[in-house]
């Protein structure tokens, strides 16, 4: 992607590590409006129930968002949507109580990073 005459290449790579049987890392690289780039990584909480599913829920929430002009609002909406999805999953499946993940996300434009 080119943002204001600067080429940006983004990719994700993750490895399982030695502690867990499943890799709970998830990432997203998505172009928004052909002028900005959304980057997100979510790492499910290992040792708690369904960390990988929580990480999937976060990345799916970020991926499904419609472009908005207000980038900070877009990030806030993505986090709130992911939180609601995870809470609903736990309501339907109480055995998943305690599932969680972390997320780090940014939107890059020619002028700013959110």
pLDDT digit string, tens, across residues 16-71: 666 667 778 899 998 887 678 899 999 988 777 788 899 999 999 998 876 667 88
Distances (CA, A) of 39 to 3, 23, 51, 67, 106: 14, 19, 20, 14, 5
Residue 11 lies inside a defined structural domain of this protein = no
Reduce the DSSP state of residue 76 to 3 states and report it.
helix
pLDDT band, very low/low/confident/very high, at 106 (cuts 50, 70, 90): very high
Residue 97 lies inside a defined structural domain of this protein = yes
Residue 7 lies inside a defined structural domain of this protein = no
Residue 41 lies inside a defined structural domain of this protein = yes
Residue 114 lies inside a defined structural domain of this protein = no
Beta bridge partner(s), residue 27: 41
Residue 32 lies inside a defined structural domain of this protein = yes
Residue 90 lies inside a defined structural domain of this protein = yes
Number of domain units in the chain: 1
Q: Which domain holds residue 95?
A: 24-108
> CB of 88 within 8 A of CB of 42?
no
Q: Give the single-character DSSP code of 96.
A: G
20 vs 44: CA distance, rounded Å = 11
């Amino acid at each position: 992607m080119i943002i204001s005459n600067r080429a940006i290449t983004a990719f994700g790579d993750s490895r399982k590590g030695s502690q867990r049987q499943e890799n709970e890392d998830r990432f997203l690289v998505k172009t928004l409006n052909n002028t900005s780039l959304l980057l997100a990584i979510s790492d499910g909480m290992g040792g708690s129930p369904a960390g990988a599913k929580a990480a999937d829920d976060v990345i799916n929430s970020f991926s499904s968002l419609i472009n908005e002009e207000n980038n900070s609002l877009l990030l806030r909406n993505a986090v709130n949507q992911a939180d609601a999805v995870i809470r609903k999953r736990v309501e339907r499946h109480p055995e998943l109580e305690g599932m969680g993940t972390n997320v780090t996300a940014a939107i890059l434009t020619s002028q700013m990073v959110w």
